[in-house]
Every structure is written in C-alpha cells, then in structure tokens.
Amino acid sequence: EQESSSNFIKHIVKEDMKNGRYDEVVTRFPPEPNGYLHIGHAKSIVLNFELAEEFGGRTNLRFDDTNPLKEDEEFIASIKEDIEWLGYEWSELRFASDYFDEMYRQAVRLIEQGKAYVEDLSQEEIRAYRGTLKEAGTESPSRSRTVEENLQLFEKMKRGEFATGEKVLRAKIDMASPNINMRDPVIYRIQHATHHNTGDTWCIYPMYTFAHPLEDAIEGVTHSICTLEFEDQRPFYDWVIEQTDIAAEPKQIEFARLNLTNTVMSKRKLKQLIDEDYADGWDDPRMPTISGLRRRGYTPEAIKAFCREIGVAKSDNLVDVRMLEHFVREDLKLKAPRTMAVLKPLKVVITNWPEGEIEWLDAEINPENPEMGTRKIPFSREIYIEQSDFMEDPPKKYFRLFPDNEVRLKHAYFIHCHDYVKDENGDITEIHCTYDPETKSGSGFTGRKVKGTLHFVEASQAKAAEFRLYNRLIDDEKSGDDFLDFVNPDSLEVTDGFIEPNMADVKPHDKFQFFRHGYFNVDPYISNKDKPVFNRIVELKSSFKL
C-alpha cells in the first residue's frame, strides 16, 4: 500500500486513537442536496468511508439541508444511489434539518450566556462594519443589547414577525480578531421559505458554519473532513464546539479538493452546462458526475482506485483527467470481452469467396484472460471494414488497405485489394479483394508478412448498432474569461455501424473492448434490442503514464 501524502489524515486519526482521544472513529459524508455528486465528491466519499472502515468505525450519510431554497428530492435520491453504487454502506442516514430544534436551543443558550445578539444592520452594513485584514472591525450598536432583549427579538424572528433578511443572529466573539470569520459571524438568518423536510415550521435557518459543527457534535463525529476553503473557519468551528453543552468533541481536518484538467466540478457550473444545453442532463456521459461516469461506462472499482491513488494533500493541485481514464482501462483490461465493431462501415467484396457460403471462425474473447474462452465469428463474401482503413492514394507509412496492397483481417485471412468502386460523387462505395486460404488465422502461416491488421464484421450476419464517441466537453486549450468559453462544441459524435452477431443480446451496462476502438458501454437508457447504443468510455491508448 502507498503511504505517500495519502495520508496525513490517517496519521492524525492513528495518533488520536493511540492517545485515547476517541473510542471509535466516526466520519460523515455531508452533501448539500442541491445537485448530483461528481468525481470530486467521490474523493471525499472514498476518504471518509475507507478511513472509518480501516479503524473499525462508521460513516454517516448526512444531507446538509439547512438552506430551504436549494434542496430537492431528486438530488437526495441520486446521491444515495451513487454512494450505494460506489459500494459503500452508511451507518446512519441523517438530515441536518432533523436537528433544527437542537440548533435553535444551542442558539438560545448562546444568547443566555451573552454570546449572541440580534442584529438590525443590513448585510452590506454588516460587511462594512466587519473591517478588513489590515483594519479591525467596528462594533455594531446592536452588540450592546441585553440578554432579555435578544431573547425576545430572537423569539420574534422565530415567530415570523420580521421579513426575510430584516434581522440576523450573530455570535458575539471579537470584532478585532485577526481572523475575519471570528468578527461576530452571522449564525441564524430569516428566510420565509418552505423547507423540503420541515415545511413551514421554521422561518429562521442556521448558517452553514454554525450548523455544521453542531451536526458533527450531535452525531458524535470524531473527524470532520472538509475541503481547504474551510480552513479559516476552523477557529469558529472550535468556538461553537467549545460553547455547546453537547458532549462530543469533533475535530475538523481540511484537505485539498480534487481538481481535474478539462473538467469543471462545481455543481453550480454543471447545472449551468445543463441549463444552457451544453449537456443533456446530470447523467450525460460527458459530465464528470458519478451518474455521468456510470452511464459512460466507468466502474466503481476504477473510480475508487483513482481516488485512492491521488491520495489527500494539504495544498491545491490539478490532476490530469487522463489518470482517471487510465484506471478505467486498467479495470476493464481483463474483464471486458474483446470483440469487433465497425463504426463507419465500408463494404468489401471478397471476389474469390463462393457466393452464399459462410465460415464460422474461432476467436478468443480476451487474449490477456484466456479463461474467457472463445467465440464464433462469421466470414463470407461480403464484409465491412472502417472507411478510414482504405485509401485510394495513401501517404507513406499507411499500412492499411489500398490498391494492390495486402492486409491481415483479425481472426480471419489476408486479403489483397485489386479494385474499388466509386459513386457519382467520387465517394468510395465498395472495395474488391481476394483472400488467400493459406493465410487463415491460427494456421501458422509464415509465407509472407503484412504490416496492417484490420478488424471487420461480416455483412450478412452483422447487427446494426449506434456508437457515441465523446470528446472533452471542456477544452483547456481554448481561451476565455468565462468557463463557458471553454466548452467544446464538438464533444459528441454519433455513428451508425455494425457489431458481431454474437452480441445480439447485449444488456445495459455490458462493457466491451472493440478492437482498435477502445472500451464501450451499452447505454442504459437509449439502447434497445433492435439497435444497441454504445458509449465509448475511453480509447485504447494514451500518452499518459502513471
């Protein structure tokens, strides 16, 4: 196992357990249900679940649904599905909104202790009073309110006597703190909105930074792992934990979020790609969402292996998206049957093959995994090859088919091109070849060598299929100010071609390696029996090296 950076967090946990700070390791994965999970979330999921697992602990799934405006049942369902699909089992399923009573009680306690006050200033005024990094903040006139007055006002906020945004509750900490987050942060706000879970029970809602430490404490979380942008919030997290009368003492630990080349990861941006029709939905195979990757054909094993390999660091970095692709190739290499598919067909007539006769050839399913056995593939007078595998007038080093050249057909025979047919537009419609019976694959023929090996599908038995080939949705090579300037307009190419007849009964999510084309997944939604649809997961080769 690799120790590397991956795991300064593991090291902290080990120390805590050795020192007896905690009896059990409890982590949580706390998504806000305002979108689908993406590959960045996978990093956090793998980290939280596997860390707890390693120490015999447990992990809660907690929906951080403290914002009534953004949450959606569809997102909750998709998040659960994605975590289960990755293969993790949460210990308890929680909703932050289940703790609203307790959070309110904690806020009242703070007021009673003189550690929170109701603020009349507007959001802009609060910001102006807060000061800058160089200058201390200014105390608000509201800061000197009495406990009684604050209790009454907070009660009125709760009862709905004020409009949205009219008042907030602030923690009373230190307006001169060098950490601006400690300058009396807002902990409750008014929002007249219906909440998906609590309905209209509340019109005041806790701020995320106040709610999160309380949620962790309520659940007995020991290690609350979050991304680096919360580092400056840690003193406030600790402050909240210190004030509360809940016994638990969770510890916040920050790590660098995953950034990938050619990928936008924030839910807000992903939503924008959908809203503006650059993608067909959260599970579009071009999206870096877990559901998009799944539909594309990624496996949980590949995603998890990738997340483990990148490890966790304390400073931001950018990971090459080709590394993710590397792991899906690695995972499918031995698992996926290798078959032949012609994506852009061109007909070849074998002129010396008897009309109407079919030979069924033996072909191994995966040379790197002989246990997968063999399959039968047909060969006859008419076959399809790729359009790009023939050139009338080839450049040097073109080793595929051209007039008077000979190539090998995978699992079959050598064929020699002696003629071709063009239509009135000058497009090539048919190639004429002869085959040499002596060159049959597996016969040990060594009489002469050819430089090219082509794949093919026999025409009479071929099954029609659709292939969806993806390019990067976000192209880092472009330039612009807005991320939408980087959207690649040619990220999807759809072609009609043929697959081998033995693949007639493919099912959603069946995965194949098509000789020379890469790995493909049967689309779970648009594929059908008459015409299967294959998403290209990844091409076979990459210049990327791990």
Residues that bind Mg ion (CB under 5 A): 32
Q: Least distance (Å) from ligand ATP to the CB of residue 66?
A: 11
CB 184 within 8 A of CB 173: yes
Please say if 335 is a catalytic residue.
no
CB 196 within 8 A of CB 73: yes
Please say if 172 is a catalytic residue.
no
d(CA 215, CA 232): 19
| DSSP 8-state assignment for residue 29 | E
Please say if 511 is a catalytic residue.
no
Residue 66 contacts by C-beta under 8 Å, 6 or more apart in sequence? 96, 97, 205, 206, 207, 208, 211
Q: Least distance (Å) from ligand ATP to the CB of residue 79?
A: 8
Q: In 3-state terms, what secondary structure has residue 186?
A: strand
Residue 121 contacts by C-beta under 8 Å, 6 or more apart in sequence? 129, 140, 142
126 vs 290, beta carbon nearer ligand ATP: 290
List the binding residues for ATP: 32-34, 38-44, 227, 257-258, 265-267
Question: Rg for the chain (alpha carbons), in Å?
Answer: 31
Query: Which of the residues 189, 267, 304, 381 is marked catalytic?
Result: 267
d(CA 459, CA 378): 9
- The item of Mg ion, ligand ATP, none sharing an interface with residue 503, based on CB under 5 to 8 Å by kind, is none
Q: Least distance (Å) from Mg ion to the CB of residue 44?
A: 11
List the binding residues for L-glutamine: 64, 208
Q: Least distance (Å) from ligand ATP to the CB of residue 394?
A: 47
Name residue, tokens 């307009």.
Answer: 489
Q: Judging by beta carbons within 10 Å of its beta carbon (0-12, 13-18, 19+), is residue 145 exposed, middle or buried?
A: buried
44 vs 106, beta carbon nearer ligand ATP: 44
265 vs 391, beta carbon nearer ligand ATP: 265
258 vs 324, beta carbon nearer ligand ATP: 258
Task: Catalog residues that contact ligand ATP under the rule CB under 6 A.
Answer: 30-32, 40-41, 43-44, 226-227, 257-258, 265-267
| DSSP 8-state assignment for residue 371 | G
Query: Which of the residues 10, 115, 143, 257 is marked catalytic?
Result: 257
- The item of ligand ATP, Mg ion, none sharing an interface with residue 455, based on CB under 5 to 8 Å by kind, is none
Kindly compute the dihedral angle of the four CA atoms of residues 9, 15, 21, 24, in this order, to the nearest 10 degrees.
60
Q: Least distance (Å) from ligand ATP to the CB of residue 342?
A: 39
Residue 358 contacts by C-beta under 8 Å, 6 or more apart in sequence? 378, 379, 380, 458, 460, 461
Query: Which of the residues 32, 102, 364, 539 is marked catalytic?
Result: 32
- Residue facing ligand ATP at closest CB distance: 40
44 vs 535, beta carbon nearer ligand ATP: 44
Residue 145 contacts by C-beta under 8 Å, 6 or more apart in sequence? 117, 118, 153
By annotation, the residues acting in catalysis are 32, 257, 267
